[in-house]
Amino acid sequence: MSILHSSIRELAAQLANKQLSSLELTEHYLQRIEAHNPQLNAYIRITAEQARADAQASDARRAKGEIRSPLDGIPMAHKDLFCTAGITTTAASKMLENFVPPHSATIAENLAQAGAVMTGKLSMDEFAMGSSNERSAFGVVHNPWDSKAVPGGSSGGSAATVAARLVPYSTGSDTGGSIRQPAAYCGVTGIKPTYGTCSRWGMIAYASSLDQAGPIAPSAEDCALILNAMASFDPKDSTSSQDTLRVFDNLLNQPLNGVTIGIPRIYFQGLDSQMADNIMAAAKVYESLGATLTDIELQNTDIAIASYYLIASAEASSNLARYDGVRYGHRCENPDNLQDLYRRSRSEGFGEEVKRRILIGTYALSAGYYDAYYEQARRARRAILNSFTAAFTECDLILGPTTPSPAFAIGSQTDDPVAMFLGDLYTVAINLAGLPAISHPAGFIQHLPVGCQLIGPHFSEARLLNLAHRFQQESDYHRQIPAAYAA
Ligand code: GLN
């Protein structure tokens, strides 16, 4: 089995039977990164020395029979939103261009404990605000299936790197779709766990009531193994859940008989017919595996985008107030006074989209407008959660497209932020409700991948991974590698 086509389990087996050492595997991937990253522009920083040291430590553990998990010795990369002690962490912003955190995010620490080999930090939309990776201060990331198309966002670097097989897996974060949408655009699998499953400690905050970390990898089985290591109860994050699953791969092979999949009619109204055909074909695969399909109502789908962009911007405006040029982050030259220091440091450090969100959020929270905007959005959020709860009385899981269309062309939506917001139709409601959802590859339209999304009740990750895994045993979309990266 070639390295590129191997799953995490298969790589772990090759390491276990000494066909390969972790150092050899790491050198293989470092060469791929060096050869292909210039076209993709997915890495903000490559940490080759760190990777070699991690790999050698893994090989030394293996020699002593002290392997920690199936991830031990396997290369990966982090979205540059997760703090990594001693290694620059930028959130793809000029604001944090030179920020070297003294600590690592809990999820980075958890993966390191499981034996992960870190090859570097991946590009994203600045502060995770965006859907195309065009908002990175380090330049656009290209979609491996078509270099003129966006990889999606905000975890565009994470999805592109995995699609091009520059690493077997990566981490991402999802506030309103940022794991699932780029996974869909790049033809890989990504899961956003239930809010509170992966610690937010050390993850640079965008909208704290929505932010959630998760894995991106070719397959659902890979994602399950990564989540086993990433998820933990963390007293350092006050919203970390004690009820979270600890094991995510225990249901992978369960039969689907008796599972009812709800298909919201509203998801297909006005949907491009090729998208609809791909998604219904995926639903049929689930049916052939024993699941029952049923038409459902899903109320309040239409208010999700407005509610999300209000709440996310409001939280962003308060989270990003900390970047004032005083304690850390970009500081302007020769300020005249304190006001000038704040104003110029923030004007110079933040990009256009981040400024737009801070302005929207500050306005929405300001005295006199709070009730009209923020409070309304909060009510809408509650109604959206209630609609999902009602839908889950009729079905176990919900199926639909991850996005309204495949990846769009670079530059085609940059002047129209609202058009870009509308592309988040299928993903943002899930974050507002705190639910888990997975996106898995479900075919192609011309040469561009399409993602199918499954949404479940809180703490149903093992079930979602089970379904996607069974689908992937019947299909090979997730095994396809873009031609330019296949050798
Ligand atoms: N596209 C959405 C936004 O721009 C979602 C981003 C995310 O999930 N981080 O806010």
The predicted-structure confidence for 219-231, as pLDDT tens digits, reads as follows 999 999 999 999 9
The yes-or-no verdict on residue 420 having pLDDT over 90 is no
Instruction: Retrieve residue 339's tokens.
Output: 């006001």
Instruction: Retrieve residue 343's tokens.
Output: 């104003």
Looking at ligand 1, which atom is closest to the CA of residue 131? 1
What sign does the dihedral 44-48-50-55 (CA atoms) show? positive
Ligand 1 within 6 A of CB of 237: no
Q: Give distance in angstroms: CA of 175 to centre of ligand 1.
A: 6
pLDDT value of position 295? 97
Our mutation pick for probing the ligand 1 site, out of 413, 428, 432, 453, counting the most ligand atoms within 8 A of Cβ, is 428
> Average pLDDT for residues 121-129, to the nearest whole number?
98
Looking at ligand 1, which atom is closest to the CA of residue 309? 10
Contact 230, 215 (CB under 8 A): yes
Looking at ligand 1, which atom is closest to the CA of residue 210? 8
pLDDT tens digits for range 98-117: 999 999 999 999 999 999 99
Ligand 1 within 6 A of CB of 174: yes
> Average pLDDT for residues 309-325, to the nearest whole number?
97
Q: Give distance in angstroms: CA of 262 to centre of ligand 1.
A: 25
The yes-or-no verdict on residue 378 having pLDDT over 70 is yes
The angle formed by the CA atoms of residues 313, 319 and 320, to the nearest 5 degrees, is 85
Residue 265: CB atoms within 10 A of its CB come to: 11
The yes-or-no verdict on residue 196 having pLDDT over 90 is yes
Contact 107, 151 (CB under 8 A): no
pLDDT value of position 416? 87
Ligand 1 within 6 A of CB of 178: yes
pLDDT value of position 415? 87
Return the minimum-mean-pLDDT range out of 109-118, 415-424, 429-438.
415-424
pLDDT tens digits for range 439-472: 999 999 999 999 999 999 999 999 999 999 999 9
Which domains does the chain carry?
A: 3-260+462-485 (3.90.1300.10)
pLDDT value of position 253? 98
Alpha carbon 451 to chain centroid, angstroms: 13
Ligand 1 within 6 A of CB of 423: no
Contact 305, 312 (CB under 8 A): no
Ligand 1 within 6 A of CB of 131: yes
- The pLDDT confidence band at residue 1, using thresholds 50, 70 and 90, is low
Backbone angles phi, psi at 411, to 5 degrees: 90, -15
Our mutation pick for probing the ligand 1 site, out of 150, 208, 424, 427, counting the most ligand atoms within 8 A of Cβ, is 424
Contact 126, 135 (CB under 8 A): yes
Task: Give the residue carrying structure tokens 């300020």.
Answer: 335
The yes-or-no verdict on residue 88 having pLDDT over 90 is yes
Task: Give the residue carrying structure tokens 């256009």.
Answer: 352
Q: Give distance in angstroms: CA of 355 to centre of ligand 1.
A: 15
pLDDT value of position 417? 85
Ligand 1 within 6 A of CB of 425: no
Q: Give distance in angstroms: CA of 424 to centre of ligand 1.
A: 8
Residue 487: CB atoms within 10 A of its CB come to: 9
Q: Give distance in angstroms: CA of 421 to centre of ligand 1.
A: 9
Catalytic residues: 79, 154, 178
Residue 64: CB atoms within 10 A of its CB come to: 7
The angle formed by the CA atoms of residues 35, 36 and 41, to the nearest 5 degrees, is 130
Ligand 1 within 6 A of CB of 128: yes
What sign does the dihedral 23-25-29-31 (CA atoms) show? positive
Angstrom CA distances, 139 to 123, 125, 159, 309, 330, stand at 9, 10, 16, 24, 19
Ligand 1 within 6 A of CB of 311: no
Q: What is the mean pLDDT of the chain?
A: 97
Ligand 1 within 6 A of CB of 312: yes
Nearest-angstrom CA–CA distance, 72 and 61: 9
Percent of the chain residues topping a pLDDT of 70: 100
pLDDT value of position 327? 87
Task: Give the residue carrying structure tokens 């095994």.
Answer: 479
Contact 398, 360 (CB under 8 A): no
Percent of the chain residues topping a pLDDT of 90: 95
> Average pLDDT for residues 235-258, to the nearest whole number?
96
> Average pLDDT for residues 48-58, to the nearest whole number?
98
Does a cis peptide bond (omega within 30 degrees of 0) precede residue 154? yes
Closest CA to ligand 1's atom 10: 129
